[in-house]
Amino acid sequence: MDEPSLKQKIDELYEKEHPKDKKKEYKLGRKGRLSKGKLKRGYTIVMRIDDNKNVDFEKQPIQDSTVKLNAGDYHAVDEKDILFYKGKPLIIQAVKKENPYNPLDGTNKTYGQKYIKARLLADVIKSKGKGASWIIWIIIIGAILFGINYISKNGFNLHF
């Protein structure tokens, strides 16, 4: 009978208690995956955003700078609106808009700056609180007790 060693048992228990936190990578559904053949024929992944805020992925070819969605609508596509997901072209298209959404376009909006600053300050600057003052008091009391103990054992004799 081969029993696992104590170290192996401890490692198994530790792994059960502290699993490795791996972030799962997002994978597109079958509708959104592009094969190499379709990629060569000019297809792209279209992330369609419906009016009810649902998102669906489609494979559609770009012809004459337009994309036809399964809903039957045609949308104009410019080269700057094509993003890339894992090396494959991706277009973010709202159904009710004529042109795709490009998050890199437009001006920088600063209306959220105060919230971002507050979050950064909360994450970076940790207040000392009462913890630091307690440590100082513990050191002072320890030094006093050490001094009393030393004097009581050796007496208060000063020899020069």
Our count of domains for the chain comes to: 2
Q: Is residue 37 located within the same domain as residue 90?
A: yes
Is the pTM higher than 0.75? The answer reads: no
pLDDT at 160 over 50: no
Quick check: is 2 in a domain? no
Contacts 24+ apart (CB under 8 A), 89-93: 89/39, 89/44, 89/45, 90/44, 90/45, 90/46, 90/47, 91/44, 91/45, 91/46, 91/47, 91/67, 92/47, 92/49, 93/46, 93/47, 93/48, 93/49, 93/67, 93/69
Tell me the residue range of the domain where 118 lies: 114-153
Band (pLDDT 50/70/90 cuts) for residue 11 is: confident
Quick check: is 13 in a domain? no
Domain end residue (candidates: 94, 122, 138): 94
Quick check: is 88 in a domain? yes
pLDDT at 59 over 60: yes
